[in-house]
Structure 1
Amino acid sequence: MSIPPPPGPHQPEGQHPSYPQGPYEQGPYAQGPYEQGPYNQGPYAQGPYGGLPYQPWAQGYSPFNRPAPVNGLAIAALVLGILCFLPGVGLVLGIVALVQIRKRGEQGRGLAIGGSVLSGIGLALWVLALATGGASDFWEGFKEGARGGSSLSLDKGECFNAPGGSLSGEADDVDKVSCDRAHDGEVFASFRLKGRSYPGDGPVTDAADERCYGLQDSYAMDAWAVPSDVDVYYLTPTRDSWSLGDREVTCVFGNTVEGKNLIGSLRNDETVLDADQVAYLKAAHVLNAAMDSAPDAEYVEDDLPGHKAWAGRVEVALGAQAGMLRGHSWPADAKKPVDTLVVEIDKSRAEWAKAAAADDADTFYTHYDKGFKLLDRNKTVTARKALGLATTPPSYEDDSGGSDGGADSGGGAGGMEV
């Protein structure tokens, strides 16, 4: 049912206008585009609303305007920029996000720009760190933090106190102190172990023992200046710290008497000694190294070839020591005592050469005894005093050589500078 419009001022009530005779019947629109145009057969021609140019909302269509989505790469770029993680990736993602936003009309331009800027700053900082070595420092610091903030990373010449005052067992931390104060240990060297997997407690300890004892002379060149109750200790990686990249072995001096501390630095090397002192001690080290290379067999009878080879090494070392002492220009007050030592060294060298050529153990002992006694350390006191070095010979458990007990297997029983 339709409801007609109300009558106009010139229209009798109850009559309807005659639309077919209106001006549109013969007007320009009678056969206009709506009659034969593209919409004549369009989806509105036979629609459910009597041909009106409207259609119902189809599936997926909303009568409200949806906001444009935020670009995902822009979000990722901002996150990487804030975290300063993979700054190069964050910068690339920010640039790509800006291109996509412009093409797709998406939101997130500010996020992309912010992420690009932060990532660019982070990338610049990384480049600067790599150029200046700061990256390695950062990584070391990271590993230090991963070990629970341990300060076991000690430098050569530093002194420290250990937990409980003991240099044995495991320690997570030490307290660095001035070497002028009482302390438990003093670092004299360090080195790194190799390998990907932990070699085990035994191999780590063996490597530390061998290397640390060999490195002590480069820090404490004058063995006479090291107290007799001081020995070599070391800090080594554990299985857990090894997994975090810890490979460093730290060699330290410590007191062998429980509860007794060290006071003052034991360092005496090129950094604290003068040229004459260094020249004298370097010559002495040549002999010390040869004496320390004695065979494992305690008695000559058990390994005559090994002892003869050892005597040959000592003979060569004595020749090198004498040459080094002769070749240096000594101060006036030190020249005479040093020249006297050289004479004794030449006599001893001749006896060690005969011991190296001995046909039997008795002949070896005869020349070994003579050569050893000529290397009396007390004869070096005058020269040491003139050079300002320590003048009290260190004490050893066995300070005598000779046929009573055979050639000492340790090689360090005595000698001019042992």
Structure 2
Amino acid sequence: MSIPPPPAGPHPPYPSYAQAPQQYPGWPQRPPVNGIAIAAFVLGLLCFVPAAGLVLGLVALARIRKKGERGKGFAVAGSVLSSVGLALWLLMFTTGAAADFWQGFKDGVRGEGTAFALQVGQCFDEPGGSLEGVTYDVDEVPCEKPHQGEVFAAFDLDDGRFPGYDAIARTAEERCPELQSDYAMDSWAVPEHVAVYHFTPTKDSWAFGDREVTCVFGHTDEGSRLTGSLRRDAHTLDPHQIAYLEAARVLNTAMESEPMTEYVEDDLPGHRAWADRMTDALTEQSGMLRAHTWPAAAERPVADLADGLDKARKEWAKAAEATDADTFYTHYDQGYELLDPTTTVTTRKALGLATEPPSYPVAGDGGGDGSGLDV
């Protein structure tokens, strides 16, 4: 039998022993390390965001089981460390350690140009140009140079839950003006273009124990600057000036307690009680003035002022005994006239205090005609 010839045409190549040898499988490759596990471990070590480290650790464990990746040790360690960190954070908040941390943070940044570094007596500029809104950075400025604000007081709010921005603002608006007279004892030396501002905690800073409210003098026109310090206290005044201003504060405090009703007849008993407080304050003030040893140049003016206060006291005492509104008004008007602020100018000049009565109502103006009874 003969073998037929192969069909014509192109033929596929025949295998050749020159081809590459067959590849045999080697050792199995190791699976990759899970990146989330590494991140969980790092966050667990840092403890800055322990909750994030715990969540990432749990996510990593789930993926490792599903994909067969390596890194279970990292994930477990990160979860454990983050759990410990989270427990420590909770302990800090419940024991008050967070407040200590916050105080340490503020102490650490003092002098570094932040709002937390501001202290009573310092003057500064706010880079944003406004004393309202949220601020962090400030630039300390010598008070003798133009500046945006001057710190005159600071106080701490009560602990507890964050009370809200409106509640904090109301407290600041009440307390800061009260503290103003401790720093600027001579209200006559505070220009009418000066306004009171305040820096308060934010919700975030409150969580770390920040409770401080900072009271600040600023210009009524935010585009303008103050020049020179408004400080008038023991740091800048002599003992005679302080003695005079402390005596004047007694009367001013009594004036501030005037009833809020528009007319005397709306609350005659309340006005009589107020007139009685005025009588006591005038007795105390004149006694303080007479008890102090004054410089020779101020002896006569102070004595005359004390005599005038005694005359005013008699009218206020009669107002306190008034049985009807008309009688009250009669003695009230006479007593008010005897307390005209201009009667104190001679004494103030002798003591080197401001001599221009404010043209705006000051603490203790008692309503009156707006000229103020701050003496």
Tell me the TM-score normalised to structure 1 length. Answer: 0.62
Q: Which residue of 2 aligns with 1:415?
A: 373
Q: Which residue of 1 aligns with 2:114?
A: 151
SS of the residue corresponding to residue 154 of structure 2 reads strand
Q: Which residue of 2 aligns with 1:317?
A: 281
From the superposition, tell whether residues 354 and 315 of structure 1 become closer, same or farther in structure 2 (CA, over 3 Å): same
For residue 408 of structure 1, what is the amino acid of its counterpart? G
From the superposition, tell whether residues 207 and 142 of structure 1 become closer, same or farther in structure 2 (CA, over 3 Å): same
1:198 maps onto 2:170 in alignment: no
SS of the residue corresponding to residue 362 of structure 1 reads helix
On the 8 A contact 1:284/1:321 being kept in 2, the answer is yes
From the superposition, tell whether residues 380 and 398 of structure 1 become closer, same or farther in structure 2 (CA, over 3 Å): closer
From the superposition, tell whether residues 382 and 352 of structure 1 become closer, same or farther in structure 2 (CA, over 3 Å): same
On the 8 A contact 2:182/2:233 being kept in 1, the answer is yes
Deviation at 1:137, TM superposition (A): 8.3
**177, 185, 199: which one pairs with 2:149?**
185
Q: Which residue of 2 aligns with 1:217?
A: 181
From the superposition, tell whether residues 371 and 222 of structure 1 become closer, same or farther in structure 2 (CA, over 3 Å): same
Structure 2 Cα separation of the partners of residues 359 and 342 of structure 1: 29
Q: Which residue of 1 aligns with 2:261?
A: 297
On the 8 A contact 2:362/2:374 being kept in 1, the answer is no
Q: Which residue of 2 aligns with 1:347?
A: 311
Q: What is the CA deviation profile of residues 256-276 of structure 1, one whole-angstrom value per residue up to 9, with x for unaligned ones?
A: 123111111111111111111
Unaligned runs of 5+ in 2: 1-44, 47-97
SS of the residue corresponding to residue 182 of structure 2 reads helix
From the superposition, tell whether residues 398 and 272 of structure 1 become closer, same or farther in structure 2 (CA, over 3 Å): closer
For residue 157 of structure 1, what is the amino acid of its counterpart? G
Deviation at 1:165, TM superposition (A): 2.2
From the superposition, tell whether residues 152 and 416 of structure 1 become closer, same or farther in structure 2 (CA, over 3 Å): closer
1:176 maps onto 2:146 in alignment: no
SS of the residue corresponding to residue 215 of structure 2 reads strand
**267, 271, 279: which one pairs with 2:243?**
279
RMSD: 3.0
Q: Which residue of 2 aligns with 1:233?
A: 197
Q: Which residue of 2 aligns with 1:249?
A: 213
Q: Which residue of 2 aligns with 1:19?
A: none
On the 8 A contact 1:143/1:244 being kept in 2, the answer is no
Q: Which residue of 1 aligns with 2:272?
A: 308
For residue 352 of structure 2, what is the amino acid of its counterpart? G
1:372 maps onto 2:336 in alignment: yes
Deviation at 1:334, TM superposition (A): 0.4
Structure 1 Cα separation of the partners of residues 293 and 303 of structure 2: 11
SS of the residue corresponding to residue 165 of structure 1 reads coil
On the 8 A contact 1:380/1:416 being kept in 2, the answer is no
Deviation at 1:301, TM superposition (A): 2.0
Deviation at 1:240, TM superposition (A): 1.7
On the 8 A contact 2:100/2:209 being kept in 1, the answer is no
Q: Which residue of 1 aligns with 2:295?
A: 331
On the 8 A contact 2:259/2:271 being kept in 1, the answer is yes
Tell me the TM-score normalised to structure 2 length. Answer: 0.69
Structure 2 Cα separation of the partners of residues 223 and 275 of structure 1: 17
From the superposition, tell whether residues 413 and 316 of structure 1 become closer, same or farther in structure 2 (CA, over 3 Å): farther
For residue 152 of structure 1, what is the amino acid of its counterpart? A
On the 8 A contact 1:144/1:150 being kept in 2, the answer is no
Structure 1 Cα separation of the partners of residues 245 and 185 of structure 2: 6
Deviation at 1:145, TM superposition (A): 8.1
Q: In percent, how many aligned pairs have the same letter?
A: 58
Structure 1 Cα separation of the partners of residues 288 and 144 of structure 2: 35
Unaligned runs of 5+ in 1: 1-81, 84-134, 402-406
For residue 337 of structure 2, what is the amino acid of its counterpart? K
Q: Which residue of 1 aligns with 2:29?
A: none
Structure 2 Cα separation of the partners of residues 416 and 250 of structure 1: 25
Structure 1 Cα separation of the partners of residues 238 and 107 of structure 2: 38
Structure 1 Cα separation of the partners of residues 374 and 360 of structure 2: 14
Structure 1 Cα separation of the partners of residues 150 and 100 of structure 2: 24
Q: Choose 358-367 or 292-301, whichever is displaced more.
A: 292-301
For residue 367 of structure 2, what is the amino acid of its counterpart? D
Q: What is the CA deviation profile of residues 57-92 of structure 1, one whole-angstrom value per residue up to 9, with x for unaligned ones?
A: xxxxxxxxxxxxxxxxxxxxxxxxx99xxxxxxxxx
From the superposition, tell whether residues 179 and 273 of structure 1 become closer, same or farther in structure 2 (CA, over 3 Å): same
Q: What is the CA deviation profile of residues 4-38 of structure 1, one whole-angstrom value per residue up to 9, with x for unaligned ones?
A: xxxxxxxxxxxxxxxxxxxxxxxxxxxxxxxxxxx
Q: What is the CA deviation profile of residues 264-306 of structure 1, one whole-angstrom value per residue up to 9, with x for unaligned ones?
A: 1111111111111110010001111111111121221222222
Structure 2 Cα separation of the partners of residues 268 and 150 of structure 1: 25
Q: Which residue of 2 aligns with 1:87?
A: none
Paired residues, number: 279
